[in-house]
Amino acid sequence: MTTTDDADTDRILDGITVVDLTTFVTGGFATLMLANQGAEVIKVERPGVGDDNRHSGPPFVEPNAEYDGPGRTADDNGESPYFWTINYDKLSVEFNLKTDSGLEALYDLVAEADVVVENFRPGTAERLDVGYDDLREVNEDIVYCSISAFGETGPWSSRPGYDLLVQGTSGIMSVTGPEDGDPVKVGLPQTDLITGMWAAFGVVGSLFRRELTGEGDRIEIGMHDAALPWLTKQAGKAFVGEQPERMGTKDPVLAPYQALPTADGYLNVGCGNQKLWEELCAAIDRPDLAEDDRFASNPDRVANMDELETELAAVFRERPTEEWVDLLADERGLPVGPVYDVPAALDNEQTEARDVIREIDHPALGTVPVIEHPLNYEHADAGFDGAPPLLGEDTEAILQELGYDDAALTRLREEGAIPDA
């Protein structure tokens, strides 16, 4: 994204090739992060079907009728915008790994690669002859990352898993939602994304180690394991015998630190220390709250959260959200902010100023929006250049780069290893 004028604009992972055997979000987000840092990511997809995430919707977007280039949509409904958000800047090949020649094509690809990422259920990669030991015979220096729901050991290792299930097993749902309500799933695939970030971190660490030692490695990660370190303050309570509970938007160790209703919406108010609390009371013309014994210190406020919420809600309902933001955040420098819906989060003056949302040319759709990743280096570049791929659009080009001539491509089609052109 942002660099200085005289910066070396090489991307950190330029020259790294990643073979992506994953479907859906966990592996897809991991390899997306690697693509953002300059890696060439090649998705290996099932012929005619592709990544399951291509079918996630509605909504879908119809491709341009006049497009007649390589690749195609994987769904009669069109392209899934959800798929875009996890697959910018990748290439797509269709290999049938259940054929000998399709498997051989994958081996040829891996022989030239640096990283392989897979998220099969434990044991499946080995049954498909694409496990770590199989691919080490092809490329002994490969960095191989295996992602599964519960890891490869333990009594749950053979269970299937999705984000929903892991939000449950990790305790996240038990502390999310209204205080007296049912457990609530976080409204985005949080444990998928957490796991993808851990996986990308592990891959980069293994690549660094390979630079030092010359040795490849295998990374094994379970979604359940990946989510647990994110419990932080809730885990801290559990470690001393307390039971973390659902608190709505309130926080277990800070107050006020929550969303409060305004005249036209909601305002997040976060006072991380005593000075900010006292300044907030003065700014809203309620100095009496700072002097109230119930709210004198942060432990007092945490112990009396409900009473504090009642007092503050009565004040903040007097004005609309933006007036409070202008008064408290912009004029007084206090930590308050609006609660936006998703369209507003994607389209506001701050998002625009940081150039987070851009458009990328797409061969079959004209342009598609892209959410940039947040890393801004002083002496390197980052960001997405390419659109999410159509299914299989790079199959022939990549095979030709690997040395397959027209006769070899014809043989692969005849043997069902790749689709007909």
Q: 310 in helix, strand or coil?
A: helix
Separation between Cα atoms, residue 72 and residue 79, nearest integer Å:
9
> Tell me, what DSSP letter sits at residue 282?
H
How many other CB atoms are there within 10 angstroms of residue 35's CB atom? 27
309 near 258, Cβ under 8 Å?
yes
Alpha-carbon gap, residue 383 to 33, rounded angstroms = 9
User: 36-50: buried (b, 16+ CB within 10 Å) or exposed (e) per residue?
Assistant: bbbbbbbbbbbbeeb
376 contact partners, CB below 8 Å, separation of at least 6: 1, 2, 3, 382
- What 8-state DSSP symbol labels residue 260? E
Q: Which helix (H) or strand (E) holds 224?
A: helix 223-227
List the catalytic residues: 192
In this structure, the chain runs to a length of: 421
Report phi then psi at 24, rounded to 5: 60, -140
How many whole angstroms separate alpha carbon 270 and alpha carbon 334? Answer: 8
Which residues, in sequence order, are bridge partners of residue 382?
A: none
Tokens of 304: 């009396």
Query: CA angle, 348 as apex, 343 and 352 as ends, to 5°?
Result: 115
Helix 406-414, helix 100-111: angle, nearest 10 = 140
